[in-house]
A = this chain, B = another copy of it.
Amino acid sequence: MNERSLIHTDIDFDRDGRQVSELHLPHSPHTDAWGVMPIPIAVIKNGSGPTVLMEGGNHGDEYEGPIVLGRIIRDLDPAEIRGRLIIIPAINIPAVLAGQRTSPVDGLNFNRCFPGDPHGSMTQQIVHYVHSVLFPLADAFVDLHSGGSSLDILPSAVVEPSDNPDLMAKTLDAVQAFGATYTVVLNNLGDPRTSTASAVENGLITVGTELGRGGAVSLDSIELAERGVRNVLKHLGLMEGEPNGPRDDERNLVCVPGSDGYVYAPAAGVYEPLHEKGALVEKGELAGMVHFLDDPGRPPVEAHYRSSGRLYARRQPGRVARGNCVGVVVVAYRGS
């Protein structure tokens, strides 16, 4: 069977200047037999130089990336760069329009679908296009995530680790150039289906982030993202100048210590945390407790940390199901 993507576009990836257009994914639901799902895309190109693919809206409730990439699309003068930017600011467009982490069309999490499927459901088709058409065009990949509706995370730049030492070194450099106070090595417990895992697997220098919190748009994360994206472009040689950011002694390079870094809700109910984000905590210490609001006579059930370190992320909504992530602890990164 034909394994080419059904997505088409009028973008010319080789043309200089700014193009703002759409990817057209044929979509034939009950409400629209012969239409398309339009996915915004822009190419800003000036002469020769590296190609950086910049993605926002991988999850639809993480807003700093799409906002900042939209500003770049509207405001960046092609003359400011040398090379090519391919910008997909709201790649998972149905999720972005719904303000949901996952796509309302097929229920899938875009970031658990790589390498995709050209004849699969909508999310699988978009992923396949990114993997089979856009990744081969790029030298580097910037994937802007935020905490989303369910998490409140320390604003940070994220390293997807690689087994290739050379790529790992280049990636660490590029992520640190982003200039966040926290740089976190994070591999989703080894899940190969994320966009950054797939990008690294395909040899791209890859920069991730965790910005914002609780499904909100945060001023400080917007500022961090605007500066960080430019820092990465400077580091990669597309823009002139030196990356700026915190002083070295204000920076932290940390990692999640495997599954012990996570605290999960031990029961369904409402979770009351006992520490603020950023606190230093001890293995075995009480992290919080689950309350049973329909049964106030029943004592709450306790959750404890399983690793010492710094509290990197906390759950946003009070109500929890058993197994929901209520806390993530990070420790100093000492290389792989």
Please tell me if the beta carbons of A150 and B30 are within 8 angstroms of each other in the complex.
Answer: yes
Q: A296-B70, A296-B73 are in contact. Are A189 and B6 (CB under 8 A)?
A: yes
Please tell me if the beta carbons of A267 and B295 are within 8 angstroms of each other in the complex.
Answer: yes
Copies in the complex: 6
Residue numbers in B under 8 Å from A216 (CB-CB): 152, 214, 315-318
In Å, the complex CA distance between A61 and B188 comes to: 29
Q: Is A191 an interface residue (CB 8 A)?
A: yes
Please tell me if the beta carbons of A324 and B32 are within 8 angstroms of each other in the complex.
Answer: yes
Q: Is A165 an interface residue (CB 8 A)?
A: no
Q: Is A335 an interface residue (CB 8 A)?
A: no
Flag the segment in A95-103, A135-143, A232-240 that touches B.
A95-103
Q: Is A47 an interface residue (CB 8 A)?
A: no
Flag the segment in A36-44, A167-175, A242-250 that touches B.
A36-44
Within the complex, the shortest CB–CB distance from A92 to chain B, in Å, comes to 11
Residue with the greatest number of chain B CB neighbours at <10 A, chosen from A34, A40, A214: A34
Please tell me if the beta carbons of B24 and A63 are within 8 angstroms of each other in the complex.
Answer: no
In Å, the complex CA distance between A321 and B319 comes to: 18
Q: A33-B150, A217-B270, A271-B217 are in contact. Are A28 and B291 (CB under 8 A)?
A: no
In Å, the complex CA distance between A107 and B93 comes to: 19
In Å, the complex CA distance between A295 and B93 comes to: 11
Please tell me if the beta carbons of A264 and B35 are within 8 angstroms of each other in the complex.
Answer: yes
